Amino acid sequence: MKPVSERELVEALREALDAARPDVLLGIGDDAALLAPSAYPMALSVDASIEGVHFERSFAPLERLAARAFAAALSDLAAMGATPRAALVSLVLPEGDLAEVRAIAAGLADAARRHACPVVGGNLARGAALQLHTTVVGAQLDPPLTRSGARAGDDLWISGTVGGAHVGLTALLSGRDDAALAPFIERWRDPPARLDLRHVLRERASAAMDLSDGLLADAPRLAASSGVRLVLDVDRLPRRAGLEEAARLLDLDALECAVTGGEDYELFFAAPRTHRAALEGVATRVGEVVSGRGVGLHRDGVELGARPGFDHFRSRARG
């Protein structure tokens, strides 16, 4: 492989990612990017996607892995009801491979266009494994939507479906490519950044978060922040058609996948009951907020026990 300079790699990134926008006063190529002042507070978040922890290169082309990392970062802005303004990407590469950098840049550029969130800068370094660290900046158009606003009497909702990404990841790890598994592999490769729901959340939700580590790992965080107890009906959890069959092929339990499986990046939120009619069809009602602490899983009125979802420092690498 012909040696490539850092300057050539940065130029390849700039060519793919540099996009004119009136609120970006200075983009890629200087020591820092400049954004025009905003009348609204800024929402800031950072997310890491690391080879050997979050993915293997065999899971998808580099373009898709890069777009996936971008969408995962934007999911945090969606949960806050924020509107994306810009992103910074810190890229760590084992080698200065120009073709790989161009593939990653193409994936980032595609995701940036789809979500109207330009990449305005970042960093490039060499390391043992491929890593993408994505910082996103958003405009908080209304009072911030946080995890701490849920109150007793609120309904609990989940957008989209849960459990599918875990099935897809398990299929990728096992090397299975049965036709019944294909939709779930695609679900892992192309997670939603539910920015389409940010306006609904700002108008209706009292508290929200995205589901990255699994419902049973994430829900207690919202409960603790709000100082309430969340009661979830596991039979109501929204699951994609075909999940039962796909789970059986991998010796998994579909319900456990829905309860504990991570990386769905759907939105989990509380909303006053007065908004129930407006939210039907937008998300699935899965439970209620009551006085107390913690999270209870219920089925046919009986409380269940389950193991926790993914924890970076207690679980083995996901891939």
The 10s digit of each residue's pLDDT in 176-221 is: 989 999 999 999 999 999 999 999 999 999 999 999 999 999 999 9
- For residue 316, the model assigns a pLDDT of 40
Give percent of the chain with pLDDT exceeding 90: 80
Alpha helices in the chain (DSSP H): 6-17, 62-80, 98-114, 164-174, 182-189, 198-204, 215-226, 243-249, 254-260, 276-279
- For residue 319, the model assigns a pLDDT of 35
Residue 23: DSSP 8-state: T
The CA distance from 46 to 38, in Å, is 20
Tell whether the model's pLDDT for residue 72 goes beyond 70.
yes
Tell whether the model's pLDDT for residue 38 goes beyond 50.
yes
| Residue in 240, 195, 52, 41 with CA at minimum distance from that of residue 131 | 52
- For residue 310, the model assigns a pLDDT of 45
- For residue 19, the model assigns a pLDDT of 76
Tell whether the model's pLDDT for residue 28 goes beyond 90.
no
- For residue 143, the model assigns a pLDDT of 82
Average pLDDT, the chain: 92
Lowest mean pLDDT among 65-74, 155-164, 292-301: 292-301
| Domain range annotation of the chain | 6-139, 155-304
Tell whether the model's pLDDT for residue 133 goes beyond 80.
yes
The number of angstroms, rounded, from the C-alpha of 31 to the middle of its chain's C-alpha atoms is 29
> Do the beta carbons of residue 96 and residue 127 sit within 8 Å?
no
Tokens linked to 114: 């789809």
Superfamily of domain 155-304, CATH level 4: PurM-like C-terminal domain (3.90.650.10)
The CA distance from 33 to 26, in Å, is 5
Cβ-based neighbours of 109, under 8 Å, separated by 6 or more: 16, 17, 19, 119
Q: State mean pLDDT over 79-92.
A: 96
The domain 6-139 is placed in CATH, from the list 3.30.1330.10, 3.60.40.10, 2.40.340.10, 3.30.43.10, at 3.30.1330.10
The CA distance from 68 to 311, in Å, is 20
Tell whether the model's pLDDT for residue 141 goes beyond 90.
no
The CA distance from 43 to 144, in Å, is 9
Tell whether the model's pLDDT for residue 140 goes beyond 50.
yes
pLDDT band at 2 (very low <50, low <70, confident <90, very high): low
> Do the beta carbons of residue 135 and residue 44 sit within 8 Å?
yes
Selected residue with higher pLDDT from 120 and 29: 120
Cα-trace Rg, the chain: 20
> Do the beta carbons of residue 216 and residue 260 sit within 8 Å?
yes
On the question of a common fold for 6-139 and 155-304, the answer reads no
Q: State mean pLDDT over 245-253.
A: 97
> Do the beta carbons of residue 22 and residue 121 sit within 8 Å?
no
Q: Identity (one letter) of the amino acid at 149?
A: G
Report the DSSP pairing between strands 267-271 and 207-210. antiparallel
> Do the beta carbons of residue 167 and residue 246 sit within 8 Å?
yes
- Distance spanning both ends of the chain, measured CA to CA: 27
The CA distance from 261 to 26, in Å, is 40
pLDDT band at 3 (very low <50, low <70, confident <90, very high): low
The CA distance from 75 to 138, in Å, is 11
Tell whether the model's pLDDT for residue 10 goes beyond 90.
no
Q: Tell me phi and psi for residue 314, to 5 degrees.
A: -125, -25
Its pTM stands at 0.90
